[in-house]
Chains A and B, each alone.
Chain A
């Protein structure tokens, strides 16, 4: 794969700090950094191993050269014993050339050994740093997760409070509605009482009917009173008539008294 996805992934691993700030999870960044550090540590360790291998190879070569040098020395000694000085000289001159190579290799060996020690130390330090980073990374990640959880809890709380607010509103609405219904009921009672509304139950009376009832009730009382008076008077029809006549006279006189007032007006 060589498209955008792969390249973005590579860039992300390599850099993309801007993008990280904008969109990425910091925990993931930490994990990537840790991965990178581990890779770096691996490289350093590989370097140490390479240097150690070269050092060993040099040591082998040195041993070989020293062996050859000893051999040439022996050969020179034997040549001299046999009275062959020319051969002894040849052997010694070859040994001198070998000795030069040995000195060079020993210098190289020392340099490599120094490098190896430095790299080993660097690897140890890096290992310690990577370990420290891992601990720190886990702490940061835990803190981040906790902060996230806290935010979620906060959000949940605000959600709950919103819901509680809704419940409060519902109660308020119910109370309002009850009050409204009570007010309406009161108003209907008044309207029924006033006769502005008909009462389907037939129990309520309008004001006109009430007045008529009151008047007719009064008439009944008057009639009853007259009847009782008539009984007391002995039940004779003459008396009855006299009373009635008297009353009629009274009424007539009342009317006569009222008449001038009409005239006045």
Chain B
């Protein structure tokens, strides 16, 4: 599974790591929904660290669509919320 960290690049992850990541991901979502900024920052950092630790980075010139996408490390709670609340359609 290919995961993209926005502004950083792509990482290839084995599917069996997803359970561990899912836990953090759900936690992150809960913190985002409750507006817990310090918690959000901490969990986002932990999640990104876990992705970097468990995954192997893809070369910059590889062209693989990402199945999962994570916010940039410096993304704020409001930014992520704004991105997620946009009920967008296919561009164009």
Contact = CB atoms under 8 A, between A and B. Distances in A.
Interface of A: 1-9, 11-12, 14-19, 22-25, 27-28, 31-33, 35-36, 141, 145, 148
B29 A4 contact: yes
Interface SS of chain A: helix, strand, loop or mixed? helix
Contact of A4 (B67, B80, B88): B80
Nearest to B23: A3
Interface of B: 3-4, 6-7, 18, 21-22, 25-26, 28-29, 32, 47, 60-61, 63, 65-72, 80, 83-84, 86, 88-92
Nearest to B26: A3
B90 A14 contact: yes
Contacts of A31: 63, 65
Nearest to B28: A4
Contacts of B92: 33
Contacts, number: 87
Contacts of B84: 4, 7-8, 11
Contacts of A12: 66, 69
Contacts of B88: 11, 14-17
A5 B3 contact: yes
A141 B62 CA distance: 11
A5 B70 contact: yes
A14 B63 contact: no
Contacts of A141: 63
B26 A2 contact: yes
A25 to B, nearest CB: 8
